[in-house]
Amino acid sequence: MGEIKLNIKNTEETLVELSNNNVSMVRFGDGEFILMRCGRIGFQKRSLKLARRLREVLFSDPENNPNCLIGIPATVCNMDNQNEEAKEYWKYFFRKHRWIFKKLNKGNRIFYDSLVTRPYIDYADKSRSKEVFARFCKLWEHKDVLIVEGEKSRIGVGNDLFAGAKSIRRIIGPATDAFSRYDEILNAVMGNADKNTLIVLALGPTATVLGYDLSKMGYRALDTGHLDLEYEWFLGGAKEKVKVEGKFTNEAQDGDNVEDIVDETYESQIVWKYNS
Give the residue ranges of DSSP H helices in 163-257: 182-192, 205-216, 227-236
2 domain residue, yes or no: no
**pLDDT above 90 as % of the chain:** 81
92 domain residue, yes or no: yes
1 domain residue, yes or no: no
Give the residue ranges of DSSP H helices in the chain: 11-20, 30-36, 48-58, 84-96, 98-104, 129-139, 182-192, 205-216, 227-236, 264-269
108: containing domain: 7-273
Residue 47 has a pLDDT of: 85
Judge if pTM exceeds 0.75. Answer: yes
Q: In whole angstroms, give the CA distance from residue 239 to residue 247.
A: 18
Check whether 2 has a pLDDT greater than 70.
no
The closest of 24, 58, 44, 36 to 181, measured between CA atoms, is: 44
Q: How far apart are the first and last CA of the chain?
A: 43
Least confident of 74-78, 208-212, 262-266: 74-78
Check whether 40 has a pLDDT greater than 80.
no
pLDDT (average), residues 4-32: 94
54 domain residue, yes or no: yes
pLDDT (average), residues 198-216: 97
Cβ(268)–Cβ(174) under 8 Å? Answer: no
46 domain residue, yes or no: yes
151 domain residue, yes or no: yes
pLDDT (average), residues 246-270: 93
For 139-195, what is each residue's pLDDT tens digit? 999 999 999 999 999 999 999 999 999 999 999 999 889 999 999 999 999 999 999
For 104-116, what is each residue's pLDDT tens digit? 877 789 999 999 9
What is the domain count for the chain? 1
Cβ(101)–Cβ(55) under 8 Å? Answer: no
78 domain residue, yes or no: yes
